[in-house]
Chain A
Amino acid sequence: MSDASESRSAYTVRLELVDEPGELLRALAPIADNGGNLLSIFHERGSLTPRGHIPVEVDLEATPERFETIVSALREAGVNVIRAGAERYGEELSVVLVGDLVETDLSDTLSRVEQANAAVADVALSAPAGTDEPSSARLRLATETGQRERALDTVRELADEKDLHLVEPLAGGDR
């Protein structure tokens, strides 16, 4: 008997790992534990992400339901999932933050955005030298379909906590 939802698909999951022993194994465990079939692992040990982490690309096979469970399990295990299957990120949004971005730990800001199921697709920073002007950053975030507001809420909370001025996109996207 075959059920369409039981058919397996191939997925690519891009992870960010802290450079510590055992991290890769820890990241892979939730995949096997939840019925995913590992196809390949590309461990870019030489290169670092802007946050100083090591990017790892994992190809795996799973049913769509199991794949959802795997991604959730990875996140619950504290593994930073930046991108999981191109089709997962259906929405994009840009925000601009103004304030003391360096003092308030930009990398912490970015990683906390990513913990809210949003991938930071692009960061542009402007810190005019020799002026008293605060620095600014433009973030382009990719979120799962329907998760836009949730990602934005996280950015709002962060901006509030770090006293950053947030320029939001329009509700519902560009008009």
Chain B
Amino acid sequence: MKLAVVGCGAVGRAVCELAGSYGHRVTAIADSTSAAVDEGGLDVETVLDRKAERGTVGSGDREHALAGEYDVLVEATPTTLGDAEPGFFHAERALARDAHVVLANKGPVAERYGDLRAAERDSAGTVLFEATVGGAIPILSTIADLGPEDVTAVRGILNGTANFVLSRMSAEGLDYEHVLAEAQDLGVAETDPTFDVEGTDAALKCVILANVLGDGDVTLDDAQVEGITRLTPSALDLASEDGRTVRLVGEVTDGEDPTVRVGPRLVPEHGTLAVTGTQNIVQLETRHAGQLNLSGRGAGGRATASAVLADVGRLP
């Protein structure tokens, strides 16, 4: 397959680097200001070296990449809320010319799921987005295999940063600010960690799950979201005395009108959900298969890129 990769952050770069080993060619790479296009296949290393040295991937612009030749558009630009632009526009452009779209960007699937599916219906292309929920963990493909109608509820730990902070606070008795600073030093938390610690990132993933399980009209506005910024070591101690610990849990319940809630929850200290560090876990409640637990790396360039490339492999 010929891939056009739009977005050149950790995930976009890793997709480019790994594409060859999955038997694909990268025919276009675009970042926010430039693009490199070659129908015969780009030399990824050269393009990424240029990006590292000069800050641009080539002399073209993004439009050049969108108009170039490709079978699959990989959308890996940063997640935006509301109209989910420019990610949505990129996906729409690719579908309009009957190309497939694989998203690592959560915006279009969380905020404009209905619009995206409508564009897909009018296209010969297919939209897949495994990488948007739980990074490397095959959650959406597992739900597709089980049949979304047979999955009655999903709950999980879907943000590695928040989980790192909570598990460190709990294990070391340190306060929130201290552990957050440590996480920033380690590169586990961003300089502006708002999206992670306020629960927004986990909520977007839950909204995507709710869309997949339900009618597809859920957005972030429908989710009840609480973060972890007000938690204290003494609150974690009280939980621990009771054999529990606190994790930022996202819960999606099934039904005509799926509900999405994200917030700190008491979970059994040695239970399945009490994963530590940046680990993610998802529990699926199913009609016929009981409870399934899927855990693994929820973030990271290569881990997430593996989910993108697994989607490329699933395309018709």
Contacts and interface: CB of A to CB of B under 8 A. Distances in A.
Nearest to B234: A126
Contacts of B251: 170-171
Nearest to A124: B238
B239 A165 contact: no
B268 interface: yes
- Report whether over half of chain A's contact residues are helix, strand or loop; otherwise say mixed: strand
Interface residues of B, number: 31
A167 B266 contact: yes
Contacts of B244: 94, 174
A167 B235 contact: yes
A62 B159 CA distance: 54
Interface of A: 94-96, 98-99, 124, 126-128, 133-138, 140, 165-171, 174-175
A170 B238 contact: no
Contacts of A99: 230
B273 interface: yes
Contacts of B265: 167-170
Given A126-B237, A126-B238, A94 B232 contact: no
B295 interface: no
B271 A174 contact: yes
B238 A133 contact: no
Nearest to A171: B251
Interface in B138-193: 155, 175
B259 to A, nearest CB: 9
B271 A175 contact: yes
B241 A138 contact: yes
B235 A175 contact: no
Contacts of B261: 171
Contacts of A126: 234-235, 237-238
A125 to B, nearest CB: 8
Given A124-B238, A137-B238, A167 B271 contact: no
Nearest to B251: A171
25 contacts: A94-B244, A94-B266, A95-B266, A96-B238, A96-B246, A96-B266, A124-B242, A134-B230, A135-B234, A136-B235, A136-B237, A137-B238, A165-B226, A167-B239, A167-B263, A167-B266, A168-B264, A168-B266, A169-B266, A170-B249, A170-B265, A170-B266, A171-B155, A174-B267, A175-B283
Given A136-B232, A136-B234, A166-B263, 12 more contacts: A96-B239, A98-B235, A124-B238, A127-B234, A136-B238, A138-B241, A168-B263, A170-B266, A171-B253, A174-B267, A174-B268, A175-B291
